[in-house]
């Protein structure tokens, strides 16, 4: 029952253009694929790929190369467009954002084979991501996922699996398919694209872009609050609500995703915009450029911190003695064992009076008991490192402390 209802819901989610707005053919000269019926389809900066997915479909992908790019954008489009209609937008994004851009058609869209479904879109974006890795060497640290409308589904599905992703852009995104069709506030077994759950697993900055139609104005301190979520807007004199003529995906979908993101970036609410025309507003490109620039400026320290969090490693702390990789005493390695283990250890500050009754001179350095030296691991009789360290220990430790020291070591 759930599978049947899911397929029924999917029929209301996908509207591929018919006929397709472009064709793909293979050149006889070099065997490469080229896009037909689009402007500048023979651009040398455009690579056309036909990629096989794990579900057996062959999907078409356009890779637009920018020689000055540092990041790559993987674009998942809406439910009523194909690559032929989006090619001009891809060119603008490539130039203005100074990025490489990979766009693809879902199964059943454009020149891609198969039928559109939720499971197929997940397999589609996974295949395209693997193509970016193998063909262009793109790592998740240099990748930004962009999802528009229904494309937010496969975008968040992949983003939840990539813990070191650079960033995510959600353009007119949805909380779930059922929430769009029936305006409910719950999920069922036959719901599709349950982004409301997956957004919480995304560990990178998330930019939300959504349209907002202004209906009327109220004083900023008005006690009339039909929806408390609207008060979180950075608008001091306006009460905004979704317009009826542009009511495709309610603004509350975008706001709900933004509130649930683990690392929400400053959102962009475009007043008066529609579901399919936000690219025409100057604020769209301006805010998107700002986001891309900040993602490019993300330094190595922040990236390493994300990697450590992914691997569940303890954070580095300057107050932790074991986190410091240099000895705080100016001594030779024969004078302090901490010079050989290369860690900051609490070595005794005595060894200066040479008195047989001084406890400090007979005390074994604490670093032998708490740190592991660079050698003394193999314990092979012929190991030069073990012999040198053992010699240093013998010269360092005096009198009756020798027996106690080697008991601690071995």
405 and 289 fall within a common domain = no
Task: Write the CATH number for 28.
Answer: 3.40.50.1820
Residue 226 DSSP SS3: coil
**pLDDT tens by residue, 161-220:** 999 999 999 998 888 877 676 665 656 666 788 888 999 999 999 999 988 755 444 444
Check residue 256 and give its pLDDT: 86
In percent, how much of the chain has pLDDT > 70? 57
Q: Which domain holds residue 365?
A: 321-409
Instruction: Note whether residue 42 is domain-resident.
Output: yes
Mean of all residue pLDDT scores within the chain:
74
User: Full-prediction pTM beyond 0.85?
Assistant: no
285 CB contacts (<8 Å, ≥6 apart)? 92, 96, 279
223 CB contacts (<8 Å, ≥6 apart)? none
Residue 73 pLDDT exceeds 90: yes
Run of H or E residues at 25: strand 23-26
DSSP class of residue 209?
E
Check residue 37 and give its pLDDT: 83
121 and 195 fall within a common domain = yes
355 and 275 fall within a common domain = no
Mean pLDDT value of segment 105-134: 96
Which residue from 343, 337, 348 is spatially nearest to 392, judged by alpha carbons? 337
334 and 195 fall within a common domain = no
**pLDDT tens by residue, 109-119:** 999 999 999 99
* Boundary residue ending a domain (277, 310, 343): 310
Cis ω for the linkage preceding 37 (within 30 of 0): no
* Boundary residue ending a domain (310, 331, 355): 310
Which residue from 171, 180, 234 is spatially nearest to 206, judged by alpha carbons? 171
Instruction: Note whether residue 142 is domain-resident.
Output: yes
DSSP class of residue 339?
H
**pLDDT tens by residue, 288-343:** 999 999 999 886 667 677 667 767 766 655 444 444 344 444 444 444 444 444 33
Residue 232 pLDDT exceeds 50: no
303 and 332 fall within a common domain = no
* Helical H segments across 53-117, by residue range: 83-97
Instruction: Note whether residue 300 is domain-resident.
Output: yes
Instruction: Note whether residue 316 is domain-resident.
Output: no
Which residues are designated catalytic? Answer: 149, 246, 275
Which residue from 222, 253, 226 is spatially nearest to 236, judged by alpha carbons? 222
Cα 220 to Cα 107: distance, rounded to the nearest angstrom: 48
Instruction: Note whether residue 315 is domain-resident.
Output: no
Long-range contacts of 230-236 (CB under 8 A, 24+ apart): 232/259, 233/269
46 and 194 fall within a common domain = yes
298 and 376 fall within a common domain = no
Angle value at C-alpha 321, between 320 and 322, nearest 5 degrees:
90
Number of structural domains found in the chain: 2
How does DSSP assign 31-53, residue by residue? --EEEESSTTTT-TTEEEEEEE-
CB 132 within 8 A of CB 122: no
The dihedral region occupied by 78, where left means phi > 0, alpha psi between -120 and 50, and beta the remainder, is beta
125 and 268 fall within a common domain = yes
């Amino acid at each position: 029952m759930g599978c049947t209802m899911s397929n029924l819901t999917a029929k209301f989610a996908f509207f591929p253009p018919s006929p397709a707005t472009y064709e793909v053919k293979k050149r006889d000269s070099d065997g490469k694929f080229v896009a037909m019926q689009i402007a500048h389809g023979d651009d040398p900066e455009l690579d056309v790929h036909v990629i096989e997915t794990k579900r057996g479909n062959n999907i078409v992908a356009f890779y637009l190369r920018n020689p000055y790019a540092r990041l790559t954008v993987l674009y998942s489009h809406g439910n009523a467009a194909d690559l032929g209609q989006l090619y001009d937008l891809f060119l603008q994004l490539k130039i203005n954002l100074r990025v490489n851009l990979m766009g693809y058609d879902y199964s059943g869209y454009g020149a891609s084979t198969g039928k559109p479904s939720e499971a197929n879109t997940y397999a589609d974006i996974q295949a395209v991501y693997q193509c970016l890795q193998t063909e262009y060497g793109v790592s998740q640290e240099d990748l930004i996922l962009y999802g528009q409308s229904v494309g937010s589904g496969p975008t968040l599905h992949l983003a939840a699996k990539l813990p070191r992703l650079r960033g995510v852009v959600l353009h007119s995104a949805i909380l779930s398919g059922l929430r769009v069709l029936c305006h409910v506030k719950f999920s069922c077994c036959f719901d599709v694209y349950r982004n409301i759950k997956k957004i919480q697993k995304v560990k990178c900055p998330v930019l939300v872009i959504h349209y907002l139609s202004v209906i009327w104005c109220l004083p900023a301190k008005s006690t009339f609050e039909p929806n408390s979520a609207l008060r979180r807007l950075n608008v001091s004199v306006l009460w905004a609500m979704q317009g009826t003529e542009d009511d495709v995906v309610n603004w509350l979908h975008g706001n709900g995703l933004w509130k649930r993101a683990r690392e929400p970036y400053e959102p962009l609410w475009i007043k008066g915009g529609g579901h399919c025309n936000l690219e025409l507003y100057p604020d769209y490109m301006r805010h998107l450029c700002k986001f891309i620039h900040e993602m490019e400026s993300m330094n190595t320290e922040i990236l390493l911190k994300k990697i450590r969090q992914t691997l569940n490693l303890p954070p580095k702390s300057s107050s932790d003695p074991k986190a410091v990789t240099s000895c705080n005493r100016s001594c030779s390695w024969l004078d302090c064992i901490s010079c050989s283990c290369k860690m900051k250890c609490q070595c005794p500050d005595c060894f200066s009076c040479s008195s047989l009754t001084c406890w400090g001179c007979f005390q074994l350095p604490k670093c032998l008991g708490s740190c592991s030296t660079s050698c003394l691991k193999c314990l092979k009789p012929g190991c030069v490192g073990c012999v040198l360290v053992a010699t240093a220990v013998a010269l360092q430790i005096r009198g009756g402390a020798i027996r106690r020291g080697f008991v601690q070591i071995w």
